[in-house]
Amino acid sequence: MSTETLEQTQEVAVKKKSEDFLSKRRKKILSDPLNDDNPITVQVLGICSALAVTVKMEPTLIMAIAVVFVIVFSNLIISLIRNLVPNRVRIIVQLAVIATLVTLVSEVLKAYNYEMFKVLGAFIGLIITNCIIMGRLEAFAMGNKPYDSILDGLGSGIGYAWIILAVAFFRELLGSGSVFGFEVWNSIGLSGMPNNGLMVDSIGAFVVLGLIIWVQRSLSGYVEN
């Protein structure tokens, strides 16, 4: 009897410890995908949209927000229902959740930012097939608690976002001479700066992304095995 209560109190203590709002473990969940385990540069997922939408900063930002939204909420929803989801149809369930959220984003965009909807339309729909999101659902949300899953989603989403924003920054700067539509070269007195046509093409995205992966991997010391 006495040992049982002891065990119980120990359990409670352990639980309380892990419920730190941002414990070390949780910080790691959040920060790992930003650098050491980045979905794009290390896992090489989500390349398709990273190449396609990064011609200009503005659509890239909208895309990044959309992906973060979808990944966080699908992680949360799947994590909440993870014990109810039948194992044999779990992929379909994950897909349904993602597709619903993506459709939601696309509808909202169509209603409130039609200009961006015209630019991004097809690519928003393609978030459904973004491997990062399904990868996180299958690898993390199916086996972890809701709050941890939100952190994981946030980490992966932002890890994706900062890379595509970096690619877009260089592509817009070199390809169109602007950042968020602001004419950089003109404002610093270099109005003769020619635009690099390669950068507005998807080839430019390959080059920029390749360079970013190279720099990031050599800094973090990641080696593929």
Partner 1 sequence: MQQSNRYIIIFTLIMTIVVGGSLALVSQLLAPAQKKSIEFDTKSQILKAVMDISDVDDILSTYDSRIESLVVNVNGEEVTSTDKGPVVAENIDVAREYKKDYKDRLYPVFKFMNKENPNQVEAYIMPVYGAGLWDKIWGFVALKSDLETVAGVSFAHKAETPGLGARISSDEIQSRYQGKKIYNESDRFVSVTMVKGESGGGDASISNFDDKPHQVDGLSGATMTANGVNEMLKKYLDYYQKYFERVKSQGV
Shortest Cβ distance from residue 65 to partner 1 (Å)? 18
Cα gap 46→39, rounded to integer Å: 7
Residues 56-75 within binding reach of partner 1 (CB under 8 A): none
Q: Phi and psi at residue 40, in whole multiples of 5°?
A: -85, -55
Using CB under 8 A, which of the segments 8-16, 43-51, 84-92, 213-221 binds partner 1? 84-92
Looking at 31, 35, 43, 100, which residue binds partner 1 (CB under 8 A)? 100
Residue carrying structure tokens 């109005």: 191
Cα gap 100→89, rounded to integer Å: 17
Largest Cα separation within the chain, whole Å, is 84
Q: Under the criterion CB under 8 A, does residue 194 sit at the interface with partner 1?
A: no
Q: Under the criterion CB under 8 A, does residue 89 sit at the interface with partner 1?
A: yes
Closest CA to 145 of 25, 44, 57: 25
Looking at 104, 126, 179, 193, which residue binds partner 1 (CB under 8 A)? 104
Looking at 51, 63, 64, 93, which residue binds partner 1 (CB under 8 A)? 93
The tokens describing 150, both together, are: 């939100």
Q: Which residue type, as a one-letter code, is found at position 152?
A: D
- Chain residues binding partner 1 by CB under 8 A are 55, 84-89, 92-93, 96-97, 99-100, 103-104, 107-108, 110-115, 117-118, 175, 195, 197, 200-201
